[in-house]
Amino acid sequence: MSAANPPSSAKTSLVPPPDAVAPVRHPDAPAPGTPLGAHYDLCFGCGGGQPHGLHLVARAGEGVSVTAEFTVKPAHQGAPGLAHGGVLTSALDETLGSVNWLMHVIAVTGRLETDFLRPVPVDTVLHLDARVTAVHGRKIYSTATGRIGGPDGPVAVRADAVFIEVKVEHFIENGRQEEIRAAMDDPDQVRRARAFEVNP
């Protein structure tokens, strides 16, 4: 195997390399307990304006961590009365995505691996918790759990992830023009996206 063409498992490892560093909370990150707000109103995970969405509300935690709650609705079923695994993974993905904002970094999911430990019935509140464990260049290593029966209840789902830092251009260049134009015409959206580009 040549070094220029590594196996995909090397590129997508969920284990931080030895020279990875600890994540740094941005000095302007909101205080623990503060709701982070949606990064995009039509986001499937967090958008208030997305009728088909999960409507997840993440709150800043200590360090580089967040908590969130997600209520499983009948529309989220896989088997009768049970949450679909892909929906639970989406909830984990969204929670892990939001934690990057505490570092004032815009990032997208590169790899996400979910363990499903217990079935999650409809009407269950999934108590989510995500934190960044390490950073290596543009790669952000993070982990999340979803508990049932309360914030200290048993873990039903968990995930490890690598997010990759991107610029706002990632969205402008790749998103469908209709939505990009609408987002760029929305001053609040532009402010939110651009604010994080100037790091101290």
Ligand X SMILES: CCCCCCCC/C=C\CCCCCCCC(=O)SCCNC(=O)CCNC(=O)[C@H](O)C(C)(C)COP(=O)(O)OP(=O)(O)OC[C@H]1O[C@@H](n2cnc3c(N)ncnc32)[C@H](O)[C@@H]1OP(=O)(O)O
- Which stretches of the chain bind ligand X, using CB under 6 A? 11-12, 39-40, 45, 93-94, 97, 106, 108-111, 137-139, 162, 164, 166, 168, 171-172, 183-184, 189-190, 193
Q: Which is nearer to ligand X, 94 or 148 (CB)?
A: 94
Least gap, CB of 62 to ligand X (angstroms): 22
Tell me the β-bridge partners of 68. Answer: 58, 128
Confirm if 54 and 70 have CB atoms less than 8 A apart: yes
Residue 6 has a CB neighbour count (10 Å cut-off) of 10
Helix H, strand E, coil C: the string for 166-199 is CCCHHHHHHCCHHHHHHHHCCHHHHHHHHHCCCC
Least gap, CB of 115 to ligand X (angstroms): 18
Least gap, CB of 154 to ligand X (angstroms): 25
Least gap, CB of 189 to ligand X (angstroms): 6
Q: Which is nearer to ligand X, 30 or 153 (CB)?
A: 30
Burial class of 186 by CB neighbour count within 10 A (0 to 12, 13 to 18, 19+): middle
Q: Which is nearer to ligand X, 77 or 186 (CB)?
A: 186
Backbone angles phi, psi at 66, to 5 degrees: -135, 160
Q: Which is nearer to ligand X, 45 or 146 (CB)?
A: 45
